[in-house]
Amino acid sequence: MSSDLEGVREVLRVAELTKNYGGLKAMDSISFAVNRGEVMALVGDNGAGKSTLVKALSGAQPPDSGQILINGQPIELRSPRDADDAGIGCIHQSLGLVDALNVPENVFLGRELQRKRFGFLPELDHASMRAKTVELLERFGVNVSSLNKPVVKLSGGQRQSIAISRLLLQDVSLVIMDEPMAALGVDEGQRVMDLVSTMRDEGISIFIISHNLEHVFQIADRIAVLKNGRLVDVVETATTSRDAVIKMITFGSAN
Amino acid sequence: MATNVKSSTPANNVGHADRHWLLQSVGLTAVVIVLAVIFTIINPRFATLANLANVMTQASHYIIIAVAMTFVITSAGIDLSVGSVLALVTVIGFAFIKSGMNPALAVAIMFALGAVIGAFTGTLIALVKIPPFIATLGMMVSLRGLALLHSAGTMHFGLPETLTWLGQGKVFGVPVPVIIAMTVAVVGAWLFNHTKFGLYVRAIGGNREAARLAGVPVNLIEILVYSLMGLVTAIGGLVMIARIDSTQATIGTSIEIHIIAAVIIGGTSLFGGRGTIYGTVLGAVLLSMMTNALVIAGVDNFWQLVIMGIVVLLAVAINNLRENRIPVFSSLMRRSR
Ligand SMILES: Nc1ncnc2c1ncn2[C@@H]1O[C@H](COP(=O)(O)OP(=O)(O)OP(=O)(O)O)[C@@H](O)[C@H]1O
Ligand SMILES: [Mg+2]
């Protein structure tokens, strides 16, 4: 990261983000900020608008109105490429893997390594992508029996690791994860949590969605609560009780 | 924590290849050889060198067009309009040549026309969101209409020798169309397995939304896939008319069934995401062998059509079976284990 940005405290700020699906307000004028180096959790009931917010921040589905600022600069995220270029890495709820492709192809999809055949014909550098993939997965201590298998044959945890590996290829300052622990076993879930800590220690800001409040209280510095497309509040984990958060999720207020 | 990331042999680093796919290619190769032996036992005339060269020559334009169709089907699409594209492009090209145009220029126009038609079809699919089946069905009918408007009832013939050589010539005893077909197959396999374009085609066919989220320009790739289909159909058409030294507005009618069958028999998934160029080439050769054997055996033309249709349906059924798409069979298979 360039040093002149170190002075900017907020890695992300959103202002009055709104998204309508027909008559339904999936996001209703949402405003908040994520600070540099912090882990912020986003919680809320099913249908609260969490994934809609993630899609707006990843360029997958632009909002109807509102503003997004990265490192203090207003930016328009019209496509996943734009988010990529802005240093936002994202893992979507559906993981975004292509079942039919193998492990390195999934890890490198969208940012392939290439070489020149006969000195001029660009072609995929399968060998380098394989080697780099092995390196990335080893860094997580992930077991993947065969890199050549289409990823449809891998377990939930293995698929999750591949989705996360993708992020590490990118120069990210903010990582957004939409329920990365869902459908994982206890051990695998804990491993993802460890990974989040590692990324935070490397100075990456994390915006993580989870239904698991135990995880949220373990990892997050602050918690944003969403209900029916509206931001209820943003609270400090250290000074908030789990009951208060549950009340906010269910009733839209802590009392 | 224990790491166990097996690095397999470098020979194994073909983009999508895993053992299953390799086995399947070996299996298909075996089927082709066994069939050839059976045909020879039934009728020794099949195995003559002249006849085998004939089979390969007849297969060449199918191989060429089926290579491009492999990309289309792997992208989770289909193109029913190849026969009509072939007809329109060849009647127009032929008419230009007969009117005294430089043959090289006429061929360039044919190729460009094929690519432009394909880009138009691709645009209908990628941007106007018309399902591939319907979009190409519409193109199939309209383009056939245009070909008929251009030269209904006219049989074009009499190409210059430079062009008939493409269909009838030989280099070191190998028919030129076979050389062209093999070149298209090798370039196609490289594109498919070793380039960004090929990877994106497989990614789109496997999971369009995931590919989009990963930053793949999905619409552009889809348009390019159909452009490639159009261009390569023009190449296949050129080879075909050069071989028979003639064309007419009805040429290539129901060729699409033959092409799609070759791709599916070859092992490319009808559901997108996975395909194999090598398999497609074998599939096309297999079909030509079958047609040739039926002709030698004196089977009626109409019966050949019936058999071809059944072969296609069988190939798709086997494809589904292989991918566990048929609930009854997959539960039976599970139980029998
Ligand atoms: N593409 C869409 N078209 C129409 N409505 C949609 C669409 N996507 C989401 N919605 C609606 O918008 C609301 C918010 O959905 P969203 O997916 O953001 O919820 P969520 O908080 O992520 O829920 P979950 O915890 O179940 O993942 C829901 O009512 C949902 O039905
Ligand atoms: Mg969601």
- Sketch the domain layout of chain A as residue ranges: 3-87+171-251, 102-170
For A3-87+171-251, give the CATH class: alpha beta
Give A50 Cα–ligand 2 centroid separation in angstroms.
5
Instruction: Give the distance from residue A67's alpha carbon to the nearest chain B alpha carbon, in angstroms.
Output: 21
* Residue B22 pLDDT: 64
- The verdict on a CB contact (< 8 Å) between A100 and B207 is yes
- Residue B315, pLDDT > 90, answer no
DSSP A181: T
> Residues 213..252 of A with a Cβ closer than 8 Å to B: which?
none
Give A32 Cα–ligand 2 centroid separation in angstroms.
19
* Residue A169 pLDDT: 83
Domains and CATH numbers, chain B: 57-321 (1.10.3470)
Q: Whose CA is nearest to atom 24 of ligand 1?
A: A46
SS3 content of chain B, % helix, strand, coil (to 5): 75, 0, 25
Q: By CA distance, what is B74's nearest residue in A?
A: A100
List chain A residues with CB under 8 Å of B12.
Answer: 148
Distance, first Cα to last Cα, chain A: 42
- Residue A238, pLDDT > 80, answer yes
- Residue B199, pLDDT > 60, answer yes
More reliable by pLDDT, A137 or A230:
A230
Confidence of residue B331 (pLDDT cuts 50, 70, 90): low
Contact assessment for residue B284 and residue B262, using Cβ atoms and an 8 Å cutoff: yes
- The verdict on a CB contact (< 8 Å) between B16 and A126 is no
Contact assessment for residue A43 and residue A249, using Cβ atoms and an 8 Å cutoff: yes
Tokens of B122: 């691709």
Q: Whose CA is nearest to atom 1 of ligand 1?
A: A21
Which residues have C-beta within 8 Å of that of residue A184, sequence separation ≥ 6?
A156, A157, A160, A192
Q: Could you identify the residue written with the tokens 């249908």?
A: A47
Chains A, B: CB pairs < 8 Å: 127
**pTM to 2 decimal places:** 0.86
> Residues 267..296 of B with a Cβ closer than 8 Å to A: which?
269, 272-274
Nearest partner of A70 among A20, A14, A121, judged by Cα: A14
Q: Does A198 touch chain B (CB under 8 A)?
A: no
- The verdict on a CB contact (< 8 Å) between B18 and A149 is yes
Q: pLDDT by residue (tens digit) across A135-189?
A: 888 876 677 778 888 888 887 778 888 888 888 888 889 999 998 877 777 877 8
- Residue B335, pLDDT > 60, answer no
Select from A18, A20, A24 the residue to mutate for testing ligand 1; criterion: most ligand atoms less than 8 Å from CB. A24
* H helix or E strand, kind and range, residue A74: strand A73-75
